Structure 1
């Protein structure tokens, strides 16, 4: 179950980032959604950073789980 939530986090983190950014900056979602603005780039950069961190952590997590299953 936890492994599924970890893998699925790549899908549900993006909407959470958008929601959190709107709350932090105290803007409405319409302002984030409309046109081309800096808000979108900040959210996209944060998501890409999360993906890179996720890939690094996932590599070690899979190694850990493989070692644990061999015992």
Structure 2
């Protein structure tokens, strides 16, 4: 795969990580998605917090990734 495909997957990860987090949470807690969807709010807050942590890490890593790619493109 070329660099553009990796960048697309990296940027799109903001969209596909949320459903993956919900699936992983249901799998780890051994609950059905319906229970996550209609159940107690603590389940929802855990998934949302995990996603927000991912977004923050993504923002930090994205800054370094863009700097790295700019420097690489100058060579």
TM-score bucket (shorter structure)? over 0.9
What's the secondary structure of 2:72's corresponding residue?
helix
- Name the count of aligned residue pairs: 71
| Offset at residue 58 of structure 1 (A) | 0.2
1:7 and 2:22 matched? no
Runs of 4+, deviation exceeding 2 Å:
none
Confirm or deny that 1:67 pairs with 2:71: yes
2:50 aligned residue: 46
Unpaired runs of at least 5, structure 1: none
Gaps of 5+ in 2: none
TM-score, with length taken from structure 2: 0.92
2:26 counterpart residue number: 22
What is the alpha-carbon distance in structure 2 between the residues aligned to residue 37 and residue 2 of structure 1?
A: 35
Partner of 1:37: 41
- TM-score, length basis structure 1: 0.97
